[in-house]
Amino acid sequence: MKTRLSVSIDSRLASRLDSASAGGSRSAVVERALGAFLSANATGVILAGGPARNLFVGEVGQYRPLVQIGKEDGKETPVQNILGRFAQAGIGRALVVGSREVNAAIFSRLGGGPVSGVSLEFIEEKEHGGSLHTLSLALPRAGSEFAFAACDHYLGFSLRELREFHERAGNPLTLGVYAGTAFEWSKTSVVRMQGSIIEKYWERPQKPESHIVSTMAGFANADAFYGMKMEGSIEAAFEKLAGRGMLHGFIVQGDFVNIHSRRDAETAGRLLHRQPLDFGH
């Protein structure tokens, strides 16, 4: 659907616009330029908060977002995977929110960016108040709409389609949800859906209420959290949003792995080999 806009621009810029359109439509050139500008300024948030020791995987001697996926040198880490997925979704800027130790480790590996064309900014979490508090530290810089992902997720699905769905539907918050069979209900958050609306979100289900699993990746409008006390787990906030009819889900086409151990990394490595992912590196 197209929306008509009326704008006034400098005459010299209009002449350059005509040259760029090469006899075509001015509107098409403006639309492409505006799309590129908005994509470059779109923001993604990587949630890497909590005490550093809680993210350290002792058996591999590394923090979760930096655990090597695959056996060969140069394979992806979860944080590189997320940045690649951000780039595919047209996101040009990432805010990494974590402790000083975790941020320093990521910076040591990736530098200040850009990675896959995505610039990096680091926000230090000095006090640990749960993942919702972690997100709150990014909100003043994230803009009115942003992507988010847990730092230890390895995503085998596209965020581009998820973003398109979120924006097309005008949802307050849209989670990527997984309808496959690779996850145990007792170890993941699950949801019950009616259409795209998540009617119920269970952070820690006591019994298998559903076989649709929530990922920790999605898109949100900042005002979705209006009036909430920004502390505790972000999953608890999702439960509240579901109760208000403000939480939506998009069934992703692909797998994901939470990287908590060497075994998880090996599982993600098999995913990588089964479905090669090109992140533009």
| Among the ranges given (57-71, 155-169, 174-188, 212-226), the one the predictor scored with the smallest mean pLDDT | 174-188
Q: Give the model's pLDDT for residue 185.
A: 42
pLDDT in tens, 37-48: 444 469 999 999
238: left (phi over 0), alpha (psi -120 to 50) or beta: alpha
Strands 62-63 and 56-57: antiparallel
User: What is the pLDDT, as a whole number, of residue 34?
Assistant: 44
Parse the chain into domains and list their residue ranges.
Answer: 33-274
Reply yes or no on whether the pLDDT at 180 is more than 80: no
Q: Are the C-beta atoms of residues 54 and 249 closer than 8 Å to each other? A: no
SS3 label, residue 249: strand
* HSE (side-chain half, CA atoms, 13 Å) at 81: 33
Which of the four CATH numbers 3.90.550.10, 3.40.50.300, 3.20.190.10, 3.40.109.10 does domain 33-274 have? Answer: 3.90.550.10
* Phi/psi of residue 62, nearest 5 degrees: -150, 155
Question: How do the residues of the chain divide into helix, strand and coil, expressed in percent and rounded to 5?
Answer: 40, 25, 35
Cα 75 from Cα 67, distance rounded (Å): 10
The Cα 188–Cα 228 span in angstroms is 24
pLDDT, mean over the chain: 85
Confidence of residue 245 (pLDDT cuts 50, 70, 90): very high
